[in-house]
Structure 1
Amino acid sequence: MTSRNYTQGQADHTMFYKHLEKGKCCILIVYVDGIILTGDDSSEIVRLKEFLGTEFELKDLGNLKYFLGMDVARSQTGISISQRKYVLDLLLEVGLMGCKPAETPMEFNLKLGTDEDGKEIDRGRYQQLVGRLIYLSHTRPDIAFSVSVISQYMHAPREKHLELHIEY
């Protein structure tokens, strides 16, 4: 990509961008075998697709709708991103599909005690769930504090840590 005058992102090394004439920009993001190509210069996007097609086997899936757990919707007012499907899948997985929403995702001044109190639970499952909640907090900053609290117990989770219900 650098040979085509694209700059690699500093914070995300899988992102490449190119500033074009008249303030236009083209952005390429790579994740394993998925690529997002966006920008406001349609001719550069076509050229980049042609170039990538000579280097790799490509399949153009059209406008982005769902990628890495994020729903992308376009309207006349702009683009919105949500993780609705991701949340529904997570709730279904943990058996909380019928949970009720709450204004605060965690009880005020909740004390979970030490990580030696209570019955041990499957650490791998707990870590996976907390990891999914960490990922969710990218689009739901309102749960970030609660997720940081429960992530403190990832090395030795107990039943009470899993019973902490973060409401969506």
Structure 2
Amino acid sequence: MTLFIVYVDDIIITGDDEEGIKNLKKLLAREFEIKDLGQLRYFLGMEVGRTKEGIVVTQRKYVLDLLQETGMLGCKPVDTPMDPIGKIDKDNDSHPTDKDRY
């Protein structure tokens, strides 16, 4: 079996037929300009890792980049970011009093 996954101009080719995958890559290379990036590591913001147990997909890099971009990388995690019962108090400027937490 060979799987061919396409998203805009990104393609994943995988499967259990190595010869079939090589032939498919050759066919594509004759028609299109392609670049083989080797083993899949990142795809659409997802990080792909391999372990003895199988494949692990995370969005760790995407989340870290997002935290860096928003200036929240050094923030401390909390179990519940907001009191589920209470209401957000607002100060005179109509902003939550603990706006960095919410």
TM-score (norm 1): 0.50
Displacement after TM superposition at 1:103 (Å): 2.1
**1:31 matched residue in structure 2:** 7
Q: What CA distance in whole angstroms lies between the structure 1 residues aligned with 2:75 and 2:83?
A: 15
**2:46 matched residue in structure 1:** 70
Deviations 1:21-69 (A, max 9, x none): xxxx211111222111111121221121111112211110000011211
Q: What CA distance in whole angstroms lies between the structure 1 residues aligned with 2:87 and 2:100?
A: 11
**2:24 matched residue in structure 1:** 48
Comparing both chains, which one has the higher relative contact order based on Cα–Cα distances under 8 Å and sequence gaps of 6 or more? Answer: 1
**2:91 matched residue in structure 1:** none
Q: Percent identity?
A: 54
Which 5+ residue runs of structure 2 have no aligned equivalent?
A: 89-93
TM-score (norm 2): 0.77
RMSD, aligned α-carbons: 2.4
Q: 1:39 is aligned with what amino acid?
A: G
Q: What CA distance in whole angstroms lies between the structure 1 residues aligned with 2:30 and 2:87?
A: 58
Deviations 1:91-145 (A, max 9, x none): 1111111111222354314656xxxxx4xxxxxxxxxxxxxxxxxxxxxxxxxxx
**2:36 matched residue in structure 1:** 60
Q: What CA distance in whole angstroms lies between the structure 1 residues aligned with 2:75 and 2:66?
A: 12
Q: Secondary structure at the match of 1:99?
A: coil
Of 56, 68, 71, the residue aligned with 1:80 is 56
Q: Secondary structure at the match of 2:14?
A: strand
Which 5+ residue runs of structure 1 have no aligned equivalent?
A: 1-24, 113-117, 119-158
Question: Superposed, which structure 2 residues align to 1:101-140 within 5 Å?
Answer: 101-109=77-85, 111=87, 118=94
Greater fraction of residues in helix: 1
| Aligned residue-pair number | 97
